[in-house]
């Protein structure tokens, strides 16, 4: 890989959930993202992927670990230094119905980004800039005076993207940006994100649970399970030659919109549910549902090792 | 060109459609804000609107009746004391011969002023205190909340009596006394709202943009909590009016010759069996005002949260 | 084969401030015994409203069934008194909802919720109902059913709750099971479990299934026949193979094209459907898809096309498929 633009090292985020119980939502994850690259982060609900995204952008204070952006450790920045860094890393949220303040017009929602960083010298300038940004995502000036509830889900998500673009960031964390949208609208948003990346050279961390979209969107993909990354590889490699049994099960569980493929497919159906992250299993976190688990998996936590060039997995038997 | 276009269209319904590419993004529904929604639900609620117009009428009377009425509220006329209502003195006179109609509307001014002033002070302190408490949470919340709880547990009358050691009985004293503990309820309402709203994605988005905590609280969270805040505000006005009446009744409030409904009721009670009109009129208007605020507040609550009702 | 359910020209509206939302506009279809039919569409297409109307779960007002009929096993459901409808619900038609948390009663044990229907509809004794409830929980793959039966919904995980919902829905051996987005709230690995379970149960019991979903992958996995809805109308219907291999409506085609294939690279852009679905408070006069369709013609704006029969099983509602002579032809056959 070329040099790292974003570097996450040993990141942990624990939540106290009362009575000396600790929820290890993100438990020691490390990865890098090169400039202009898209790293997909997939996993099921409760695996910690959204918490990871929010900790990386310092919406949550990390428990430990480093997050560096072009060599500067973001977790060590003071409040005022952080504000300047917020311009460089932005976030797109999951729920387009909750991510826009219902009491503000689109002009004010996007304008706020300009206000906070003093990017608009005058009201007229601010309005013009917002309109320019709206056109960039396929909306128009007429939309600026309206309120969020008047827009459809896809339009709202584009407004959310516009808000992130307003501060001209370099790194964008996309936290499940399409999972709340209808199928016919998802492709609009994905195309827009890819198009913007090509034009402005954004670096993306793309968090999702829809593996086919992640595969399409990402250069490399990291699979999370119970707060840990269990496999990380170039997306073609991950889909063609998954090494971790969880990745294999996950891939085989996606229903493909093709009746013939569906009929031929050997589906690995995992038994059981996700264990509680408050009380994770000993050894390998996946062993309770793993079809190939042995005694060793309960005793010894597998190391995250390179199983093939560029492909990393944490399984004794990968 | 235009002439050619129309006949061809009717001739060939299968001609490809020429479309404005921006048409697909057009919004069809009429623009309507959340506030317009609330207004619609409120204006269609008959009881709430009765309360609303009653309040308007009471306020107008309080301000304009004393200006056009031939009598004032303080001139004594001992020859004409304790007159029952007639065509000159509509509400009769009191033991010093003062016109009760003038005194009732002067009293309305005082009562409404106290109610609104106390509620507004509660509003400001409550929003700031509750906003900070709810947004920061954790230790900050624990300390601030404990302080509020302690204050809330002190008997109210004790506060008033202690206060009277330092201050003369007056309108200001009453408002200060009510404000010492009055804001706590509002603060708790705001705190609850903040806790619900602060993890909404729009608040996180603003944080991700680098907004300060104060900006997030006052630009994003408080406006979204305005519904419950307004309802609490409307319902706290009658309780303030009532408290003022109660304190004045105990003789701790406004001093003669200035009247409030409370002092008038106090005077009236003493001669209730002989001169019932001296009690009846201020008591009637006090009840009407409290009724009006309560039904309007209830209507407002339903308008903000229609789910509560059905 | 017997026809289990026949829906004819069903229209349902909701009265809201500002007008009437015409959620379902003249929907007709039927489900045969033992058949699994998928109703596919995006949010607001009317698919869930259709299902809820069949079960008479629409609250009126604001909802209003404007016209049409729903015949279940020859019996008209829309005119049935509420008391008798309660006998149909749960007993003859079972329903599974999207959110297993809100569709289970949090203050009742799982066992009691299964037994309730059995005792009410099948007049079983308490001990028989309990035995049957344990059987059902075993059947849907819940381990230790004897102890699980006395637990409350919050002791169950999301997947477990959906299994329990399925057990409740199947408790009285219904002839028809309506599953409204049964796996949307679940994770993929749990979804795979639930889908496999539903498939096996259908094989065992021969129940007809109406599966309502937006996920074309699930359709390809689960169903025999597909009904595609858009803007409150059925726009295409056919067997699974016909819909996936030979879709004819531009919307169905667009939907299939907007999904990435697993071998598609980032340099081949997805083909999205532009724009947004119409607002059904002012439904378009003509074809509902007209404003987003790349092939729209003048007539599409003004007149709704009738169904064109493409095969014994496939029908499509699109002007592109109709010969000019057939414009004002008789009413097309229903799905």
User: Could you read off the pLDDT of B33-85 as tens digits, one per residue?
Assistant: 667 778 888 888 888 899 999 999 999 988 888 888 877 777 777 777 777 78
Q: Of chain A residues 216-245, which have a CB less than 8 A from chain B?
A: none
Q: Which two tokens stand for residue B91?
A: 């509400």
Minimal Cβ distance to A183: which of C187, C258, C269 = C258
Contact check, Cβ <8 Å, B17/C290 = yes
User: Would the pLDDT of B9 be above 60?
Assistant: no
Quick one: how many helices (H) and strands (E) in chain B?
13, 0
Residues B111, B244 contacting (CB under 8 angstroms): yes
Contact check, Cβ <8 Å, A215/C255 = no
B10 at the A interface (CB within 8 A)? Answer: no
Within 8 A of A160 by CB-CB distance, chain B residues are 205
Contact check, Cβ <8 Å, C260/A213 = yes
User: Would the pLDDT of C15 be above 70?
Assistant: yes
Radius of gyration of chain A (CA): 21
Would the CA dihedral through C177, C183, C184, C186 be positive or negative?
A: positive
Distance, CA of C128 to CA of C146 (rounded, Å): 14
User: Would the pLDDT of B6 be above 80?
Assistant: no
What interface predicted TM-score (ipTM) does this complex get?
0.84
Mean pLDDT of C18-33: 89
**pLDDT at residue B302 in the model:** 81
Contact check, Cβ <8 Å, A116/B219 = no
**pLDDT at residue A167 in the model:** 93
pLDDT tens digit sequence for B225-242: 888 898 888 888 888 888
> Does some domain include residue B17?
no
Q: Which two tokens stand for residue A152?
A: 């459809």
Minimal Cβ distance to C216: which of A194, A257, A270 = A257
**pLDDT at residue A5 in the model:** 93
**pLDDT at residue A160 in the model:** 94
**pLDDT at residue A33 in the model:** 95
- Categorize the per-residue pLDDT at B7 as very low, low, confident or very high, splitting at 50, 70 and 90: very low
pLDDT averaged over chain B? 82
User: Would the pLDDT of B164 be above 90?
Assistant: no
Contact check, Cβ <8 Å, A99/B202 = yes
Helix (H) or strand (E) holding C32: strand C19-32
> Does some domain include residue B21?
no
Within 8 A of C298 by CB-CB distance, chain B residues are 9, 12-15, 17
- Categorize the per-residue pLDDT at B32 as very low, low, confident or very high, splitting at 50, 70 and 90: low
Q: Of chain C residues 269-288, which have a CB less than 8 A from chain B?
A: 274-276, 278-279, 281-282
- Categorize the per-residue pLDDT at C167 as very low, low, confident or very high, splitting at 50, 70 and 90: confident
Domain that holds residue B69: 34-81+89-308
Contact check, Cβ <8 Å, C279/B29 = yes
**pLDDT at residue C330 in the model:** 40
Q: How far is CA B248 from CA A129, B169, B273, in A?
A: 59, 9, 21
**pLDDT at residue B310 in the model:** 35
Within 8 A of C281 by CB-CB distance, chain B residues are 28-29
Helix axes B226-249, B261-270, angle to 10 degrees: 40
- Categorize the per-residue pLDDT at B261 as very low, low, confident or very high, splitting at 50, 70 and 90: confident
Residues of B with CB under 8 A from a CB of C: 9, 12-17, 19, 23-25, 28-30, 32, 37, 40
User: Would the pLDDT of B124 be above 90?
Assistant: yes
**Number of folded domains that form chain B:** 1
Distance in Å, alpha carbon of B1 to nearest chain A alpha carbon: 30
Distance, CA of A177 to CA of A182 (rounded, Å): 12
For residue A98, give the nearest of B198, C237, B262 by alpha carbon.
B198
> Does some domain include residue A102?
no
Minimal Cβ distance to C279: which of B16, B19, B28 = B28
> Does some domain include residue B276?
yes
Within 8 A of C43 by CB-CB distance, chain A residues are 153, 182
Interface size between B and C, measured as CB pairs under 8 A: 46
* CA dihedral angle for residue B194, residue B199, residue B200, residue B203, rounded to 10 degrees: 80
> Does some domain include residue B4?
no
**Number of folded domains that form chain A:** 1
pLDDT averaged over chain C? 86
Distance, CA of C195 to CA of C215 (rounded, Å): 13
Q: What is the mean pLDDT, run by run of 10 residues, along chain A of 318 residues?
A: 82 86 91 95 88 93 93 89 91 91 91 91 92 90 86 90 93 92 88 93 92 90 94 92 92 84 81 82 91 90 91 90
> Does some domain include residue A110?
no
**Domains of chain C and any CATH numbers:** 3-223 (3.40.50.300), 233-326 (no CATH)
Q: For a pLDDT cut of 70, what percent of chain A falls above it?
A: 99
Strand partners, C16: C19
> Does some domain include residue B14?
no
C60 at the B interface (CB within 8 A)? Answer: no
Which distant-in-sequence residues (6+ apart) come within 8 Å of A53 by Cβ?
Answer: A41, A91, A173, A175, A205, A207
**pLDDT at residue C335 in the model:** 45
Domain that holds residue A64: 4-88+169-238
> Does some domain include residue A164?
no
Q: Which two tokens stand for residue B150?
A: 């302690």
φ, ψ of residue C266 in degrees (nearest 5):
-65, -20
Chain C residue with minimum CA distance to B29: C279
Distance, CA of A85 to CA of A82 (rounded, Å): 5
Give first-to-last CA distance, chain C, whole Å: 16
What is the CATH number for A223?
3.40.50.300
> Does some domain include residue A262?
no
Strand order in the sheet with C208-213: C93-96, C176-180, C208-213, C36-40, C225-230, C233-239, C315-316, C308-309
Q: Which two tokens stand for residue A105?
A: 């017009």
> Does some domain include residue A18?
yes
**pLDDT at residue B5 in the model:** 42
> Does some domain include residue A26?
yes
Within 8 A of A93 by CB-CB distance, chain B residues are 201, 204-205
């Amino acid at each position: 890989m070329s040099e790292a633009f974003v570097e996450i090292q040993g990141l942990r985020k624990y939540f106290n959930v009362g009575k000396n119980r600790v929820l290890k939502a993100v438990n020691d994850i490390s990865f890098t993202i090169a400039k202009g690259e898209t790293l997909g982060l997939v996993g099921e609900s409760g695996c910690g992927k959204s918490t990871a995204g929010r900790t990386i952008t310092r919406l949550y204070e990390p428990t430990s670990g480093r997050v560096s952006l072009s060599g500067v450790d973001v977790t060590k920045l003071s409040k005022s230094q952080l504000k300047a860094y917020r311009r460089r890393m932005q976030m797109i949220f999951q729920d387009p119905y909750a991510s826009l303040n219902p009491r503000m017009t689109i002009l004010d929602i996007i304008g706020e980004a300009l206000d906070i960083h003093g990017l608009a010298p005058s009201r007229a300038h601010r309005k013009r800039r917002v309109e320019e940004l709206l056109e960039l995502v396929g909306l128009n000036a007429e939309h600026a005076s309206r309120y969020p509830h008047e827009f459809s889900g896809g339009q709202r998500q584009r407004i959310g993207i516009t808000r992130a673009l307003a501060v001209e960031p370099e790194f964008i964390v996309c936290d499940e940006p399409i999972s709340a949208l209808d199928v016919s609208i998802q492709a609009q948003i994905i195309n827009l994100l890819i198009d913007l990346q090509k034009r402005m050279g954004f670096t993306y961390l793309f968090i999702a649970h829809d593996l086919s979209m992640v595969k399409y969107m990402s250069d490399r993909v990291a699979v999370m399970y119970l707060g840990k990354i269990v496999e990380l590889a170039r997306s073609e490699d991950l889909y063609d030659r998954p090494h971790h049994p969880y990745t294999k099960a996950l891939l085989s569980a996606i229903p493909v919109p093709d009746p013939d493929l569906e009929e031929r497919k050997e589906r690995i159906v995992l038994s059981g549910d996700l264990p509680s992250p408050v009380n994770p299993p000993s050894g390998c976190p996946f062993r309770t549902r793993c079809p190939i688990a042995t005694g060793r998996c309960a005793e010894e936590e597998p190391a995250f090792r390179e199983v093939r060039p560029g492909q990393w997995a944490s399984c004794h038997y990968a | 060109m235009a002439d050619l276009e129309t006949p061809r269209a009717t001739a060939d319904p299968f001609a490809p459609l020429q479309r404005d590419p921006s048409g697909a993004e057009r919004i069809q529904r009429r623009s309507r804000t959340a506030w317009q929604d609330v207004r619609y639900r409120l204006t269609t609620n008959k009881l709430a609107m009765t309360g609303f117009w009653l309040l308007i009428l009471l306020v107008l009377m309080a301000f304009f009746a004393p200006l056009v009425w031939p009598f004032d509220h303080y001139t004594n006329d001992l020859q004409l004391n304790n007159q029952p209502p007639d065509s000159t003195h509509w509400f009769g006179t009191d033991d010093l011969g003062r016109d009760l109609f003038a005194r009732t509307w002067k009293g309305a001014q005082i009562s409404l002023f106290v109610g609104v002033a106390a509620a507004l002070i509660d509003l400001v302190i409550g929003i700031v205190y509750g906003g900070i408490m709810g947004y920061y949470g954790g230790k900050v919340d624990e300390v601030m909340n404990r302080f509020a709880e302690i204050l809330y547990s002190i008997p109210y009358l004790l506060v008033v009596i202690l206060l009277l050691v330092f201050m003369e009985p007056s309108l200001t004293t009453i408002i200060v006394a009510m404000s010492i503990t009055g804001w706590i309820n509002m603060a708790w309402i705001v705190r609850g709202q903040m806790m619900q709203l602060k993890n909404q994605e729009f608040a996180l988005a603003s944080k991700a943009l680098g907004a300060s905590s104060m900006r997030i609280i006052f630009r994003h969270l408080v406006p979204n909590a305005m519904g419950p805040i307004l309802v609490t505000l409307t319902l706290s006005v009658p309780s303030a009016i009532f408290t003022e009446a109660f304190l004045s009744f105990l003789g701790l409030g406004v001093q003669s010759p200035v009247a409030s409904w409370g002092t008038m009721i106090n005077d009236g009670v003493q001669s209730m069996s002989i001169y019932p009109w001296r009690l009846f009129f201020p008591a009637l208007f006090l009840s009407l005002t409290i009724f009006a605020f309560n039904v309007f507040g209830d209507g407002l609550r339903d308008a903000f949260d229609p789910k509560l009702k059905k | 084969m017997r026809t289990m359910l026949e829906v004819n020209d069903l229209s349902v509206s909701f009265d809201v401030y500002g007008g009437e939302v015409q959620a379902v506009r003249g929907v007709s279809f039927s489900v045969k015994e033992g058949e699994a039919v998928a109703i596919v569409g995006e949010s607001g297409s009317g698919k869930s409203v259709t299902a809820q109307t069949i079960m008479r779960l629409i609250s009126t007002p604001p909802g209003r069934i404007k016209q049409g009929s729903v015949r279940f096993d020859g019996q008209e459901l829309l005119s049935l008194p509420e008391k008798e409808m309660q006998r149909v619900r749960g007993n003859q038609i079972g329903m599974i909802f999207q959110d297993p948390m809100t569709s289970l009663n949090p203050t009742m044990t799982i066992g009691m919720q299964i037994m309730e229907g059995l005792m009410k509809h099948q007049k079983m004794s308490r001990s028989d109902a309990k035995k049957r409830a344990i059987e059902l929980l075993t059947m849907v793959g819940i381990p230790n059913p004897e102890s699980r039966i006395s637990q409350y919904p919050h002791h169950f995980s999301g997947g477990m709750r959906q299994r329990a919902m399925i057990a409740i829905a199947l408790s009285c051996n219904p002839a028809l099971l309506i599953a409204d987005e049964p796996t949307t709230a679940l994770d993929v690995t749990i979804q795979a479990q639930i889908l496999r379970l539903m498939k096996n149960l259908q094989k065992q019991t021969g129940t007809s299934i109406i599966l309502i979903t937006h996920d074309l992958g699930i359709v390809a996995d689960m169903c025999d026949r597909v009904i595609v809805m858009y803007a409150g109308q059925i726009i295409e219907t056919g067997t699974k193979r016909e819909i996936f291999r030979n879709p004819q409506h531009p919307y169905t085609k667009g939907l299939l094209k907007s999904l990435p294939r697993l071998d598609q690279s980032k340099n081949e852009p997805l083909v999205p459907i532009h724009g947004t679905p119409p607002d059904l408070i002012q439904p378009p006069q003509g074809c509902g898809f007209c404003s987003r369709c790349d092939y729209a013609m003048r007539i599409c704006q003004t007149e709704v096309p009738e169904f064109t029969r493409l095969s014994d099983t496939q029908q499509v509602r699109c002007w592109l498929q109709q010969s000019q002579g057939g414009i004002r032809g008789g009413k097309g056959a229903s799905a």
